[in-house]
Amino acid sequence: MSEIKYPELAEQGKMNLEIAELRMEALLEIRKKFEKEKLFEGIRIGMALHITKETGILVRTLQAGGAKIAITGCNPLSTQDDVAAALAEEGVEVFGYKGETSEDYYKYLNKIIDFKPHITIDDGCDLVSEIHLKHPELIDSIIGGCEETTTGIIRLNAMENDNALKYPMIAVNDNKTKHLMDNYYGTGQSTLDGIIRASNILLAGKTTVIAGYGSCGKGCALRARGLGANVIVTEVDNFCALQAQMDGFRVMKMEEAAPLGDIFITVTGNRDVITAEHVKKMQEGAILANSGHFDNEIDVKGIEKAAKSTRRVRPMLDEYIFGNKKIFIAGEGRLVNLAAAEGHPSEVMSLSFCGQALACEYLVKNKDNLEAKVYQLPEEIDDHIAGLQLAANQIEIDELTPEQIKYLNSWQEGT
């Protein structure tokens, strides 16, 4: 039995799902194939993914292949209650609501474990980690799992290195059609969307400090510049720092950027990137937001401790008083694009979720040959996803001629 908060929102949820479906044509192509093949007949898929309208379309795609689905969120603030209500009405087992307590978060994760999934789909590795730590008895019946995000892959690699990983995992995030699209274009747009919805601040002319110049940071920097911001990047990796500089951004330490920024965005997958010590140096009115997976990139607890007082001033904006200064944190320091906006737009999630759907297919088709390791999907699958999206966008590209293929595979021909 589902546990959701607002069943009366189901009608709104259905309309949002309809809109998402219009924009996720590549995923709908995969759904048609699944409908014919019924590859997931008898298979239970347990998901810990943001419960958004786009995830709803992934759920329907896997159901079309015959799967039974149970889903919970992977962040206490990201569930869209209307979508949760609509999916529950469709017979999916849904557990979650926006603003969950930590207790409910883990209670719902355990509802997915009670469902005894054959395949797990995670965003951040909480489900896999809970199964490995507390429910090892389930592992024998699990075919494998799929992981959606960079932070989850980092945790899985650590598990593999510790010989702790006990079933095969597909690193969906490592698809080019995922991290070079979703993390870049999706996080870029939706992070700024979240900050704007939380604060309604104008970006033009504002100094925006972006911590981390990986896939997400590059996307945020690109879009912030597009809106007229002066972008500063902070990094710990020499190459990424150099890339940021050559892309035309100022690069410096967070300590130096702290007094200069109007807006701060963390997207590092690392902890304590902005601490109370940095905040003390910031200007009046500075806004802090995190778009990395966990809420430890900005040390919210440390900042709260060091602040004179704090209060909520808008639905997703908290004010902290330092001396005579007001500093703001958007979305409680949790994924701002999901806490204060609606997450990535459907078009980009279509690509990511083609990856999830085809990863499930890959696990089922190859279940007898996979070990307890972290796998990447073969490049042909990534290429197929890009092709599906191009077709959806009605774009045709050139094809290699036989002479070109021969040329590319030869070494004799030169100057």
Ligand X SMILES: NC(=O)c1ccc[n+]([C@@H]2O[C@H](COP(=O)([O-])OP(=O)(O)OC[C@H]3O[C@@H](n4cnc5c(N)ncnc54)[C@H](O)[C@@H]3O)[C@@H](O)[C@H]2O)c1
Residues engaged in binding ligand X (CB under 6 A) = 149-151, 179, 183, 187, 211-217, 234-237, 240, 267-270, 273, 291-293, 335, 337
How big is the CA angle at 197 (ends 309 and 339), to the nearest 5 degrees? 70
Closest by Cα among 263, 255, 339 to 295: 339
Smallest distance, ligand X to C-beta of residue 400, A: 31
Smallest distance, ligand X to C-beta of residue 412, A: 39
In the bound state with ligand X, the residue whose beta carbon lies nearer, of 44 and 179, is 179
Query: What does the block give as tokens for 382?
Result: 């990534």
In the bound state with ligand X, the residue whose beta carbon lies nearer, of 13 and 292, is 292
Q: Which residue has the tokens 């774009």?
A: 395
Smallest distance, ligand X to C-beta of residue 369, A: 29
Smallest distance, ligand X to C-beta of residue 178, A: 9
Strand pairing partners for 232?
Answer: 209, 250
> Are the C-beta atoms of 313 and 285 separated by less than 8 Å?
no
In the bound state with ligand X, the residue whose beta carbon lies nearer, of 61 and 149, is 149
Smallest distance, ligand X to C-beta of residue 409, A: 32
Beta strand residue intervals within 197-236, DSSP E:
207-211, 230-234
Positive or negative, the CA dihedral 367, 373, 374, 375 is negative
Q: Report the residue number whose CB is nearest to ligand X.
A: 214
In the bound state with ligand X, the residue whose beta carbon lies nearer, of 29 and 122, is 122
Smallest distance, ligand X to C-beta of residue 174, A: 10
Beta strand residue intervals within 331-402, DSSP E:
374-375
In the bound state with ligand X, the residue whose beta carbon lies nearer, of 34 and 184, is 184
What amino acid is encoded at 99 in this protein? Answer: G
In the bound state with ligand X, the residue whose beta carbon lies nearer, of 150 and 199, is 150
CA pair distance 276, 373, nearest whole angstrom: 39
| H/E run at residue 328 | strand 325-330
Alpha carbon 408 to chain centroid, angstroms: 37
